[in-house]
Amino acid sequence: MTGDGADAAPIRTERWPDPACRIGFEDGTALVRAVNDPFEAVFGPATVGEPVAAAMADLGVTPVSADGFDAVLSGDGPVRVRNEGRTPADGGAKRYLVRVVPPEPDSEAVLAFVPLPEEGDDGSVDIDVDHVASVVSHDLRNPLDVATARLRAGRETGDDGHFQRVAAAHDRMERIIRDVLTLARGRDVVDPDETVALDAVAEAAWETVETADATLAVDGSLPTTTADADRVGRLFENLFRNSVEHGSPGPDEATESTDRVTVRVGPLPDGRTGFYVEDDGPGIPETDRERVFEPGYSTDDHGTGLGLSIVARIAALHGWSIEVGESTSGGARFEVTGIEPDTP
């Protein structure tokens, strides 16, 4: 992420609906190049040429985590910040998720500030359409730009590899659109009116997910309950996809590795009615477990940050609860409770 950016075309931020700060790198330090109008309206004018961390501190943009802006600038994923300089009445939210676009910048990039909903007195976070729309506007921008650039290159060179990247970008945009529709439609999207065998739904959902070399183990019978089979299938799909994508070796890791993720599904112990989905991957740090269900939160630069939000949404609309913890092997474990089994 170094370079002076002298020969690079500036990244345009005028069309971004939320605050955005264009940055460049000099001697390994991220410097402010420009900000868009929404940024100035929410945080105030930033000093061009000033180091990003110092500029944000001057504006009262305070990172929630100790890593601060160093985490997002080094590519470790998005960070949450609080807007201490102004109040929501001044035109901005109090909390933002900050991510760098593109995820692996060279000489220039953009810090995108996505507003987060405020937590209630009970610690809960509402999912609202405006917030999801903000997340999606940023998440769609990246694959759209990729598709545009690759289409142009493919037309100029005739290389089929470029068109394959266009198709992949379109697939990603379609997934984002499906996710946001599930979140935005609320109760209209769930109709729990049929008797559903959850173990059968889980096994069918596994067949629809790109599982690579992962394996599924079903440890016992899951409850049969009244539910919306299609949406419960989506719940399982997203949990499986989360385990596979975060637990399996990445594309740049050694291909000869035998450490492939195993996903396990089973009924809850101790007489509790419900089920769990767990894996033997790296797990979710305890400090992040309260955040994984927030729309837009993802540790994967290629993730939408909506998958687990949809899981929580579908569970809640069925009257169920979901919690995340640690599996016996140190991976992630999701437990769904509050399920009322159908009796013969």
Whole-angstrom Cα distance, residue 295 to residue 290? 12
Number of domains in the chain: 3
Domain membership of residue 2 (yes or no) is: no
Whole-angstrom Cα distance, residue 192 to residue 171? 29
Tell me which of 136, 165, 184 is where a domain ends. 184
CATH number at residue 276: 3.30.565.10
Domain membership of residue 166 (yes or no) is: yes
Please tell me whether residue 241 adopts helix, strand or coil conformation.
helix
Domain membership of residue 342 (yes or no) is: no
Whole-angstrom Cα distance, residue 280 to residue 282? 7
Q: Is the pLDDT confidence value at 249 over 80? A: no
Check residues 151 and 139 and name the one with the higher pLDDT: 151
Q: What is the pLDDT of residue 169?
A: 76
Minimum mean pLDDT range among 55-64, 119-128, 241-250, 297-306: 119-128
Does 204 lie in the same domain as 324? yes
Give 290's contacts (C-beta < 8 A, 6+ positions apart).
123
Domain membership of residue 173 (yes or no) is: yes
Range of the domain at 207: 191-337
Is pTM beyond 0.95? Reply is no
- With a pLDDT cut of 90, the percent of the chain lying above it is 22
Does 125 lie in the same domain as 77? no
**Helix-, strand-, coil-residue percentages of the chain, each rounded to 5:** 35, 25, 40
CB of 261 closer than 8 Å to CB of 243: yes
Check residues 15 and 274 and name the one with the higher pLDDT: 274
Tell me which of 165, 184, 203 is where a domain ends. 184
Q: What is the pLDDT of residue 142?
A: 60
Does 333 lie in the same domain as 245? yes
Does 132 lie in the same domain as 110? no
* Model pLDDT for residues 164-218, shown as the tens digit of each residue: 878 877 776 776 676 666 665 555 567 788 899 999 999 998 987 777 788 999 9
Q: What is the pLDDT of residue 52?
A: 92
pLDDT confidence tier of residue 253, bands split at 50, 70 and 90: very low
